[in-house]
Every structure is written in C-alpha cells, then in structure tokens.
Structure 1
Amino acid sequence: MAFDWGYFFSLFSIGAFWQACVTVIVISTLSWGIGLVVGFLLACAKLSAPRWVKIPVDSISGFFAACR
C-alpha cells in the first residue's frame, strides 16, 4: 500500500481542513491555559494551612495522580 501524495496535498486546498486545524489549536491552547491555572490554584490550596482546604485538595490531586 503506497502513500497517496495527491490526496495529502489536496487537503491543503479544502477550507474545512484549515478550519479544523484552527479549532484544534484553539482547543489545545485553552485546555493548556485552563490546566495551568487550575493546577496552580490546587497547588496553592494544597500548601495552605487550614485542614478544611487541604484535605479535599489532597483527595482531588490523589485521584488524578492515581489515574496516570
């Protein structure tokens, strides 16, 4: 089975292809930014002194650490 170069290059002339590329970049950038902010807030909360803040945050971070 050979790679179809004609089909590959024909994708660059389709507007929906470029729209999908932009959508993927936007969603990736938003998810990275939201993850950065949420992770920073969870890390700050984990370092906080009150137990009523620290225990739920430890549970959340423990859950995501176990999912890796």
Structure 2
Amino acid sequence: MNTTLQIKLWRIYMGYKHIEVKQVAGFIGAEIGSVDLSRPLSDEQVQEIRKALLKWKVVFFRALKVSPFSL
C-alpha cells in the first residue's frame, strides 16, 4: 500500500477527510498538516480544524511561510 493511500485511510479513520492530524503528546496537543493557511480555507477544513482543537486543546501548524504582509 502506498504512503498517500495510507494517509488518506488514516484521515478517514480518525474522522478527518480534509486535513491531517497527528497527536504529539499524551492527551493534549496535535499537529495539523495538509493545510495552506496562506489561502482561504474551505468550510470543511475550518470545521475539521475546530474539531481537532476541541479534541486536542492545543494545535500546531508546522512549516508555515509567514511574512508580515500575509498577517
């Protein structure tokens, strides 16, 4: 099974179809991936990010390219 298919199946299993959520510590904290925050998010992505935040209490977005103009 290729890696892309494994990721898609894991997202569905965890209840996320539009983002990746990876637990980073015990019962608190998760890393969110497959999201480009420099572009408008779909309603589904926003809903899933909120779901992850409610479940994990703290979420991290890694490797963001943020400039003063994008804020």
Pick the structure with more helix per residue.
1
Larger radius of gyration: 1
Q: Which has the higher strand share?
A: 2
The two structures share one fold, judged by TM-score above 0.5: no
TM-score by length of structure 1 reads 0.28
